[in-house]
Structure 1
């Protein structure tokens, strides 16, 4: 399934590049003696019109449940280009997904946000959010790489100047 339609991006020159995705989460009942429920991120897939706008259960056998959360619009931002670069150069590019669980009903959890930025995921983790990841498909990694090539400019490292007090008197300016 191709997540990126490059023709649609060319038709909208002023719009930010974006893709619509849906998140699949799994819930497991009584995975061990200490947990009543365990949630995990299963996949991020292309959002299809047939998915609708509301979350829906894909499978539920009483012990395991898979649930689809559609309608995430992932836009790329030039000021996040370094975060995209870090994700792509990590060795295994991934989707980052923030998800939350219900304090009153511990059997409920849902996806909140999706990103491709390593930096943004770090900010979420610093804010004590639950962040999981799943592998990024090769076609989307290539699309993201094209965006990074166009927008990311590594910071130029300045040569460190030795403080004047450490130089011999004849070399001070």
Structure 2
């Protein structure tokens, strides 16, 4: 575990499960089976195999906690069960088709990755010891901010009609009509 004032980080191993696909178009279905807090380096090391289902310690990432993001971590802790988010990218169809982008305890960051549609975002239950570490970090660094409603300014912007319509039209009846070209004017 690394700590520097207002941030901390911890390595986390990601366990991927490979099972037979349920359609004829997908030979394998890959899911995140769990995480291993404090894990060492991994490079698709097989952990267990039962029949066609195999689990791999595929990669090790680092979860970084920052004091400015404690609100997001508290949302993850209050989820049932508390959750981590593993973000991966598809890298082909071989024996290791996924690569790790990041592991985060922030559901807000996970939502940003999910919105792009480029990455695979998996929600994983947070181990109890890991949840205690995140909770202790939040207790030490969280600051409640009072909600301040933004007020509109009182200036009236509807009194001036600058830029309404086309300046080349001299009539006042229909300012939104497009101007006639010189050729159209001769034909009428």
Q: Is the 8 A contact 2:84 2:103 kept in 1?
A: yes
- The corresponding residue for 2:97 is 108
- The corresponding residue for 2:185 is none
Structure 2 residue 26 is the aligned partner of structure 1 residue 28 = no
- The corresponding residue for 1:152 is 142
Give 1 or 2: higher helix fraction. Answer: 1
Q: Is the 8 A contact 2:59 2:100 kept in 1?
A: no
- The corresponding residue for 1:169 is none
Output the TM-score relative to the length of structure 2: 0.67
Alignment: residue pair count: 154
Match of 1:71 among 41, 60, 65: 60
Unmatched tracts of structure 2, length 5 or more:
155-188
Q: Output the CA distance in 2 between the equivalents of 1:66 and 1:120.
A: 26
Q: Output the CA distance in 1 between the equivalents of 2:93 and 2:21.
A: 18
Shift of the 106–140 alpha-carbon distance from structure 1 to 2, 3 Å rule, reads closer
User: What are the equivalent positions in structure 2 for 1:19-168 lying under 5 Å apart?
Assistant: 19-49=10-40, 52-60=41-49, 63-105=52-94, 108-128=97-117, 129-158=119-148
TM-fit CA distance, 1:15 = 7.7
Q: Is the 8 A contact 2:13 2:42 kept in 1?
A: no
TM-fit CA distance, 1:146 = 1.9
Output the TM-score relative to the length of structure 1: 0.72
Q: Which has the larger radius of gyration?
A: 2
Q: Relative contact order (alpha carbons < 8 A, sep ≥ 6): 1 or 2 greater?
A: 1
Shift of the 160–111 alpha-carbon distance from structure 1 to 2, 3 Å rule, reads closer
**Alignment RMSD, CA only?**
2.9
TM-fit CA distance, 1:62 = 6.3
